[in-house]
Amino acid sequence: MPTPWPVVSAEVAAARSAGRPVVALESTLVAHGLPWPHNRETALEAEAAVRAAGATPATVAVWHGVPTVGLSEEQIVELARSPGVMKASRRDLGVAVGLGRSAATTVSATMALAHAAGVRVFATGGIGGAHPEDEPFDISADLTELARTPVLVVCAGAKSILHLPRTLEILETLGVPVLGYRTDEFPAFTVASSSLPVPCRVDSAAEAARVFSAHVRLGGRGAVLAQPCPPQVAIPAAEFQTWLERARREAAAAATTGPRLTPFLLARLAELSGGRTLTANQALVVANARLAAEVAVQLDAA
């Protein structure tokens, strides 16, 4: 008889069975988003933040061909250190499973597997979106997954390298609510502010839970809860733009496009900023994990 998919860890299964809140965490951060040992440290700190706020963490990946919700610490460390781990969006899950590969899951793939395991809240760094007009046409699968999968994604907005106005417009067209957590502006990942308004502001985890519950009851699917990067580590927009323009020129000179572009830009931004974007990325991931757990607790209490 085939093994049920996804495979859920004993800890996560026990939490779901007992009606305790669970928060999904993505694994692309571990395998591709941060260098060693920052990737391991951040992943474990995010899990600890979820537990401290009263929920059970469930880091998601495809583990040697098996979709898994709830990696062990040993699995997280192996994923963090192993070269050649596949990066899987929603499209790539079948490839990873069919070929028996280990794959780190992006926002879209993590949402799909979390929903299959009955998990309603997911914490990440920044969602994908629309790339600028002067780059090859690229719209992240994260946006379409939000339109079809009823999972609340807690994030620091969309990655600062993207075209944020177009990203927000696509989310509106797809019927995806964007909630600003204690902010009237859409967060821009590691950057202090995008100066773009959010359509809805919430000021507590309870408010976020009520809005998401109402959205799903009315036939909606996914939603975004966007929390600004912690102010003590957020990058001023002008500084970031200077680094980004240089990184884009270098990417163009190296003919770096497609799935390789975002990791290249993020790595160069970390170098050009003297590690400041890396520090901000780590801090916002942990803060988002904490907030996601607080919202998951409120959802389960409703």
Q: Is residue 43 part of a domain?
A: yes
Q: Is residue 105 part of a domain?
A: yes
Residue 1: the pLDDT is 41
Average pLDDT over residues 68-76: 98
Is a pLDDT exceeding 60 seen at residue 133? yes
42 in Cβ contact with 282 (< 8 Å): yes
Q: Is residue 188 part of a domain?
A: yes
Residue 4: the pLDDT is 66
As a whole-number percent, the residues of the chain with pLDDT over 90 amount to 87
Averaged confidence pLDDT in the chain: 94
Q: Is residue 177 part of a domain?
A: yes
Model-level pTM greater than 0.75? yes
Is a pLDDT exceeding 50 seen at residue 35? yes
39 in Cβ contact with 30 (< 8 Å): yes
Residue 288, domain CATH: 3.40.1790.10
Average pLDDT over residues 239-257: 92
Residue 262: the pLDDT is 79
Q: What burial letters (b/e) apply to 202-225, b meaning 16+ CB within 10 Å?
A: beebbbbbebbeebbeeeebbbbb
Q: Could you give the angle at the alpha carbon of 59 between the alpha carbons of 53 and 63, nearest 5°?
A: 165
Active-site annotation, residues: 26, 159
Residue 132: the pLDDT is 85
Q: Is residue 2 part of a domain?
A: no
Cα distances (angstroms) measured from residue 288 to each of 17, 64, 82, 224: 25, 28, 26, 12
Helix axes 276-301, 38-52, angle to 10 degrees: 30
Model confidence band, residue 2 (pLDDT cutoffs 50, 70, 90)? low
Domain region containing 29: 7-301
Residue 258: the pLDDT is 74
Q: Is residue 1 part of a domain?
A: no
Q: Is residue 259 part of a domain?
A: yes
Model confidence band, residue 296 (pLDDT cutoffs 50, 70, 90)? very high
Residue 225: the pLDDT is 98
Task: Give me the number of domains the chain comprises.
Answer: 1
Q: Is residue 41 part of a domain?
A: yes
